[in-house]
Amino acid sequence: MATISFTDNLKRHVDCPPKDVQAATVRDALRQVFAENPRLGSYILDDQDRLRRHVAIFVDGRLVRDRVGLSDSLQPESRVDVMQALSGG
């Protein structure tokens, strides 16, 4: 199973432990997590169901290419890391 995990920055706002999922795409993996934790979805996706501007998702260490459809494929052993970018000065 693929494992999806979230940075500590997101964990400060909403409970989101790592989760093992059976998913073919990033979107499928997120749907499974959001089904159990709907509040987390608003931190990751905007009202158009697209990845928020300051969120980055990596699959096996590579930045996802499809930020709109989240169609990047997953392998059974994939690691999906969801990160909220920090900004400021």
DSSP line for 7-60: -HHHHTTS----EEE--SBHHHHHHHHHHH-HHHHHHHB-TTSSB-TTEEEEET
Which residues 6+ apart lie within 8 Å of 56 measured at CB?
A: 63, 64, 82, 83, 85
Note whether residue 13 is domain-resident.
yes
76 — pLDDT class (breaks 50, 70, 90): very high
Condensed to tens digits (0 to 9), the pLDDT of residues 5-58 reads 999 888 888 989 999 999 999 999 999 999 999 999 999 999 999 999 999 999
Note whether residue 89 is domain-resident.
no
- According to DSSP, residue 67 is labeled T
84 — pLDDT class (breaks 50, 70, 90): confident
CATH of the domain at 27: 3.10.20.30
Helix (H, G, I), strand (E, B) or coil at 85: coil
- pLDDT above 60 (res 89): no
Residue ranges making up the domain that contains 41: 2-84
Determine the pLDDT at residue 85. Answer: 76
Model confidence, pTM = 0.90
Note whether residue 37 is domain-resident.
yes
Determine the pLDDT at residue 87. Answer: 63
The answer to whether the beta carbons of residues 77 and 2 sit under 8 Å apart is yes
The token duo for 18 is: 């790592």
Number of independent structural domains in the chain = 1
Q: What value does the mean pLDDT take over residues 49-76?
A: 96
